[in-house]
Amino acid sequence: MSAPSAPKNTPKVTEREARQVAEAAREQDWHKPSFAKELFLGRFRLDLIHPHPMPAADDVRRGEAFLARLRDFCETRIDSALIEREARIPDEVINGLKELGALGMKIDPKYGGLGLTQVYYNKALSLVGSASPAIGALLSAHQSIGVPQPLKLFGSQEQKEAFLPRLASTDISAFLLTEPDVGSDPARLATSAVPDGPDYVLDGVKLWTTNGVVADLLVVMARVPKSDGHKGGITAFVVEADSPGITVENRNAFMGLRGLENGVTRFHRVRVPAANRIGPEGAGLKIALTTLNTGRLSLPAMCVGAGKWCLKIAREWSAVREQWGRPVARHEAVGAKISFIAATTFALEAVVDLSSQMADENRNDIRIEAALAKLYGSEMACLMADELVQIRGGRGFETAASLAARGERAVPAEQLLRDLRINRIFEGSTEIMHLLIAREAVDAHLKVAGDIIDPDKPLSAKAKAGANAAGFYARWLPGLVAGPGQLPRTYGEFNPPGHPDLSTHLRYVERSARKLARSTFYAMSRWQGRMETKQGFLGRIVDIGAELFAMSAACVRAELLRSSDDHGREAYRLADTFCRQSRIRVEELFTRLWSNTDDLDRRVVDGVLSGEYTWLEEGIVDPSGEGPWIADATPGPSVRDNVHRPIR
């Protein structure tokens, strides 16, 4: 059976055109300092994160009061096993969350919301996500990337007054960008919004619409054709989910997050008032990316909750399970896993809390910090969950329902592993995050030297760029030779008596930041215009930066806890252990910058795609069903039943 071609209306674009669309959507300038940006430039600006920023007393009071109510709700009203078994969050649970005000955690009180800070919003997601990751995903998709956040940042006063009170109390929202043939390449976005009098007419199909099955309001990204009076381009709209012409054609099912209300939504001649357009035409991608600058913090916040649960179960189980005459925790092979979970959970919480507090204070530009938190949190949480399954052995692979059926504690370790796996894909896959962060990390270089390696720039532009680059690098490169990380007493406040010495780790971060910047500069000099194709190298550069950021955050958090007499000694021990583990990973990554199999891998890939290795696939049967690899998303009326089910 031959697979049909891609949807007929998907724009055909070159790789260069796709990159230009993505570049145009970026925030081009840096108006505020960024710790992570400076880190990638080889400048360790500890002053930007230390002393650790603190929330206002009133924010703490309101946040803690809500967390107490939410904890009671989680303990008494949420049955995670029921959600897993029935693959659905009960309506009464969602209605209870509405009554609690959970839909409006980040919405201003003047619109009926709770007005929580980013710090306490993330703590709430960590808490509710530990009770049910599916509920955490529902609340996060509603507020972090759904209608409230883009309206808060870009909406008109009339739009805020019309929609935010609904979103704070009764209405669930969803974010619709992805299409069957369009993922992280928005230049190929096919859903159209054609101006027609006072309205736009939407046609197209959206895939993986988290909350889309139960949503009342949608943020939809659609392409407005350029015409007289219309700039055109990808544009954001608020759309009523029950509008005529909208059909939720499928509720998708996944290996994890079984309660996720994620679907396929078709638009056929859906009329949307021009008053529902968010921002100007063509600003849709910029709105989406700006929304994600802080919205990405919700995902690592739930990863923190997962790490805390992994630590709790590992501690309790490893103390009672005996092998060869002693608890398994006392065996080094298992103990190393427990140490990794404890130290990494401490570091992840440090990264999320620090980034969140900086977002609340709005003193720093945290676009890289938030992206690093998402990347690092999603990767490390999966590793922690996998280690927990290993610690639990056969019981880790067994479902909670099966454990309960034979009389043991129903510990859903395998479910957590399945639930967390999507985080490496959600809101930008690990691979896309590597490229996104790498682009921001080299922004200063491209600003001064980008024209030199741009094949489309004339010689005059290249000459001018060469002069600018010479001046920039004459000032920048000498600073990468030596720094405070080479002085033995630098950062002495992180070496208090009776505690592990964290100053040595901060000196390591400072030295490594300069080494990282030198490596990046050398790579740009070596590969120039081909640098963007060296995704393996760029990924390792970003991973080193993520480790250095996490080490910095862990040390700063430990010192905060010590100075406030809040488990300071234990925090120092955890930070010291994490940094020592992290340094091993950093050294390996530095080695792999230049000693790797990237070139060999490309040759093997060429062979695989050309069919050279099909003989290696012999001796199996393929249990996959028939059908196209990518579903047809050609616009038109729906022929499927509408499975949309708003919750009231």
Please give the positions annotated as active site: 427
DSSP 135-194: HHHHHHIIIIISSHHHHHHH--HHHHHHHHHHHHHT--EEEE--BTTBSS-GGG---EEE
Contacts of 228 (CB under 8 A, 6+ apart): none
- The answer to whether the CB of 512 falls within 8 A of the CB of 544 is yes
Task: Of 1, 6, 17, 54, give the one whose Cα is nearest residue 360.
Answer: 54
Would you state the structure tokens that stand for residue 545, as one six-digit string? 């930066």
CA 532 to chain centre: 22
In 528-612, alpha helices (H) = 535-563, 568-594, 598-610
**Residue 141, CA atoms < 13 Å, CB-side half-sphere:** 30
CA geometry: angle 607, 608, 613, nearest 5 deg: 90
Contacts of 542 (CB under 8 A, 6+ apart): 372, 375, 433, 434, 437, 438, 441
* Residues 357, 368: Cα–Cα separation, whole Å: 15
Contacts of 102 (CB under 8 A, 6+ apart): 70, 124, 128, 139
Would you state the structure tokens that stand for residue 88, as one six-digit string? 């659905």
List Cα–Cα distances, 501 to 163, 421, 506, 561, 570, in angstroms.
52, 35, 10, 15, 13
Reduced to 3 states, what is the DSSP secondary structure of residue 632? Answer: coil
CA geometry: angle 28, 31, 36, nearest 5 deg: 85
* Residues 192, 234: Cα–Cα separation, whole Å: 9
310 sits in the region (left: phi over 0; alpha: psi -120 to 50; else beta) called alpha
